[in-house]
Amino acid sequence: MATRRFGVAACLLAAAGLLLSVAANAAPDETSIAANDARIVRMGRSVSGADGAVRFGYPGVSFHVSFEGSRLAVEAQASGANSYFDVMVDGGPARKLRLAPGVQTLALAQDLKPGRHTVEIVNRSETWHGTARLRRFYTDGAWLAAPPLPMRKMLVLGDSVTCGEAIDRVPGAVKDPSWWNARASYGMQLARALQAQVQLVCAGGRGLVRSWDNRSDTLNLPDFYQLAIADQAAPVAWRQRDYQSDLVLVAIGTNDFSPGIPPREQYVGAYVRLVRTLLADHPQAQIVLTEGALLTGEKKAALVEYLGETRRRVADARVHLVASQAYPGDAQDGHPTRAQTDAIANDLLAPVRAIMHW
């Protein structure tokens, strides 16, 4: 139900070097709806609360809001200081916005011309940067139903490369969370090219059986695949039936191989179990396995061989292998650059189209 808001206090929020003004002195005719209202279209894994708020952590989680009015604001909350969003108004360029800790009301669009407008919000950050919560949206006009998402559904499972780490690196600067860019990730690029919706289910530094620093007591892929909020201290389960994928792309292994090549039987056995779980959870999906963009040499060769053995043991026609080119980043950061990320998406596009007949 829409509600009215009166006299919202003004504040300022620093975002990517800019000062973004927060909605202030709201007009008496301003109305609001909860973030989980049916007129707001959401993409990605999230959790809806009894109060109407929507909480999320994975990169790429998106909200699409349509309205007739001159402005749009959102009441939001972050668990830390490192959550970033992209905001696009009427399909225009993205504005990067930093969500500070605590509850705040952020101006998403202001001084718009009369007529219908659509605003898209996309989470740039990873869960370990902090979770975010959108509570209510506000406008001075009328709420409309947002356009529906594409019918095709993709699920992309992976590590920091899948999450879009360091795509927006700044030459000469110290690395910070503003460098992550889910919208520019290869998974979201593929989804746009294939006219599909997508979930990015990824965690930097994690692998199939161990993390980059050789830990198996953290949430690795078989664990966080099962979660809506991949918080080790307070995980929230995800119901796989709520999102039945047509395509599941798995790009994992770089962090498993960081301490050295893992034992073959341990690794292949874990991968076989994961793939069988994916086949059962997504009975209409094609499963694509790839070694990812960072490994080279004997480590890459070993992972490719492990993937081949996994496919042989699973013995299901819905499981496919797609080779990856190596894109080792640059002197500033070991993650793929924006141009290299574009190349990863382009490399995957043709074989995925052939598999899916899309």
| Confidence check: pLDDT of 299 > 80 | yes
**Quick one: average pLDDT of 204-232?**
97
| Confidence check: pLDDT of 320 > 60 | yes
In angstroms, what CA-CA distances link 270 with 38, 64, 139, 259, 352? 39, 37, 50, 18, 24
> Contact at 8 Å (CB) between 137 and 343?
no
For the question of residue 245 being annotated catalytic, the response is: no
Reported as a single tens digit per residue, the pLDDT across 225-283 is 999 999 999 999 999 999 999 999 999 999 999 999 999 999 999 999 999 999 999 99
> Contact at 8 Å (CB) between 189 and 342?
yes
**Of 160, 185, 211, 245, which residue is the catalytic one?**
160
| Confidence check: pLDDT of 63 > 70 | yes
**Of 64, 129, 320, 335, which residue is the catalytic one?**
335
| Confidence check: pLDDT of 149 > 60 | yes
**Quick one: average pLDDT of 150-168?**
98
pLDDT band at residue 2 under the 50/70/90 scheme: low
Q: Show the 3-state SS of the chain.
A: CCEECCCCCCCEEEECCEEEECCCCCCCCCEEEECCCCCCEEECCCEECCCCCEEECCCCCEEEEEEECCCEEEEEEECCCCEEEEEEECCCCCEEEEECCEEEEEEEECCCCCCEEEEEEEECCCHHHCCEEEEEEEECCEEECCCCCCCEEEEEEECHHHHCCCCCCCCCCCCCHHHCCHHHCHHHHHHHHCCEEEEEEECCCCCCCCCCCCCCCCCCHHHHCCEEECCCCCCEECCHHHCCCCEEEEECCCCCCCCCCCCHHHHHHHHHHHHHHHHHHCCCCEEEEECCCCCCHHHHHHHHHHHHHHHHHHCCCCEEECCCCCCCCCCCCCCCCHHHHHHHHHHHHHHHHHHHCC
**Quick one: average pLDDT of 318-345?**
97
> Contact at 8 Å (CB) between 340 and 293?
yes
pTM: 0.93
Decide which of 312 and 100 is more confident. Answer: 312
pLDDT band at residue 7 under the 50/70/90 scheme: very low
Spatial neighbors of 323 by CB under 8 A, at least 6 apart, are 290, 291, 304
| Confidence check: pLDDT of 25 > 90 | no
Reported as a single tens digit per residue, the pLDDT across 84-141 is 999 999 999 999 999 989 899 999 999 999 999 999 999 999 999 999 999 999 999 9
**Quick one: average pLDDT of 298-309?**
98
Q: Give the mean pLDDT of the chain.
A: 93
**Quick one: average pLDDT of 34-41?**
98
Q: Return the residue matching tokens 């770089």.
A: 254
> Contact at 8 Å (CB) between 30 and 138?
yes
Reported as a single tens digit per residue, the pLDDT across 335-351 is 999 999 999 999 999 99
CA–CA distance, 106 with 240 (Å, rounded to integer) = 32
For the question of residue 333 being annotated catalytic, the response is: yes
| Confidence check: pLDDT of 35 > 50 | yes
**CA-based angle 67:87:188, to the nearest 5?**
110
For the question of residue 176 being annotated catalytic, the response is: no
pLDDT band at residue 290 under the 50/70/90 scheme: very high
Q: What is the pLDDT of residue 29?
A: 72
